[in-house]
Amino acid sequence: MFSKIAFLGIGLMGNPMVRRLRAAGLAIHAWNRTVNKAEALADSGAVPVPLLADAVRDADIVISMLESGPVVGEVIGSALPALRPGALWIDMSSTRQGEAQDFNTRLQAAGCRFVDAPVSGGVGGAQAGTLAIMAGGEEADVEQARPVLAAMGRLTHVGPAGAGQVAKLCNQLIVGGTINIVAEALLLAQAAGADPAAVRAAIRGGFAESRILEVHGQRMLERNFMPGGQVTTQLKDMYNILAAAAAAGVALPVTSLVTERYESIRDVYPQADHAAALLALERLNPGLRVGDAPDRLPN
């Protein structure tokens, strides 16, 4: 068993992920730039550590769950001098494939190892320990990480370093596109004189059934745009998808349209849940609106 695991990044996802690791009996040292976020985990038995170097020093495994690829790269650079040789760094953030491959190169050059293991399932999945975890890296490293990652969800090894990020981008491509299609279906139902809530109920269980229709369709009907995911996060993912497509020489016309929809509300509803794709669609159709509930939006 691992004597010390460092967890870096205690945000909306990091907090419940650490709690799942602690519930599995793992020794966790938690670090965050905003120190009180790490201190809030003391009640779980995690050890809050103010300094990054102290958090990663002598750690068998380092897990990062950070805002973006550039932030991950900066934290890796700051942590490298304190890492012990052979340490395994598991990055669970959402980054670009090329960034993950660069992290792997930098850590290997320092005598360490790397797995990219982004997740899907949101805060609810993190709390329940049911995240979908998509891992890229050497098979032996992924297997070493398996008992740790299993405390947070279901792990699938999808290929070499960087492949985890490709899998996550495929996931986000489907999520972003489907959210926009559900918004179009509900607005069409409303505009054509049908009850959008009844239409959603009618098509559930058929071929149109999906987790997006279940969760985000209900959010749209309730006009609940309080953040689970966020417009800014989804848009970051869309840009990363298009970058991966360009690198692979693939044209993704639907993804380009979905990106434009999120861009249209980026400055108006940046922290709203990505179900706010409905608001972007309604802005294209003045005078049309799904339901009559007031909008619930973050301040």
Same domain flag for 173 and 111:
no
User: Rounded to an integer, what distance in angstroms lies between the CA atom of residue 178 and that of residue 136?
Assistant: 25
Q: How confident is the model at residue 223 (pLDDT cuts 50, 70, 90)?
A: very high
Token output for 72: 């991950």
Q: Pull the structure tokens for residue 55.
A: 């958090």
Residues with a catalytic annotation lie at 168
Q: Tell me: do 201 and 260 sit in the same domain.
A: yes
Q: Which of 113, 136, 159 is the last residue of a domain?
A: 159
Q: Find residue 213's DSSP bridge partners.
A: none
Residue 35 falls inside a structural domain: yes
Q: Are residues 93 and 41 in the same domain?
A: yes
Q: Are residues 126 and 183 in the same domain?
A: no
Whether 235 and 109 share a structural domain = no
pLDDT tens-digit readout, 64-101: 999 999 999 999 999 999 999 999 999 999 999 999 99
Beta bridge partners of 155: 133
Q: Are residues 18 and 140 in the same domain?
A: yes
Q: The domain that contains 20 carries what CATH number? A: 3.40.50.720
Model confidence at 231, in pLDDT bands (50, 70, 90)?
very high
Same domain, 64 and 118: yes
**At which of 120, 142, 159 does a domain end?**
159
* pLDDT for position 191: 98
Domain assignment present for residue 232? The answer is yes
Are the CB atoms for 62 and 117 separated by under 8 Å? no
Q: Is residue 172 scored above 90 in pLDDT?
A: yes
Mean pLDDT, rounded, of the chain: 96
Contacts of 136 (CB under 8 A, 6+ apart): 100, 115, 116, 117, 157, 158, 159, 160, 161, 162, 163, 164, 165, 166, 167
Classify residue 294: in a domain, yes or no. Answer: no
- Distance in angstroms (rounded) separating the CA atoms of residues 75 and 66: 9
Residues 26 and 145 in one domain: yes
The answer as to whether 293 is a domain residue is: no
How far apart (Å, rounded) are the C-alpha atoms in residues 10 and 12?
7
Final residue in a domain of this structure, among 139, 159, 179? 159
99 and 192 assigned to the same domain: no
Determine the 3-state secondary structure of 283 from DSSP: helix
256 in a structural domain: yes
Instruction: Tell whether 137 and 175 lie within a shared domain.
Output: no
Are residues 204 and 147 part of one domain? no
The residue to which tokens 């660069």 are assigned: 102
- How many structural domains does the chain have? 2
- Closest by CA position to 95, among listed 104, 86, 107: 104
What is the residue range of 251's domain? 166-284
CA–centroid distance for 69 within its chain: 12
Q: Say if residue 225 is in the same domain as residue 269.
A: yes
Looking at residue 228, what is its pLDDT? 81
- Name the pLDDT band for 198 (thresholds 50, 70, 90): very high
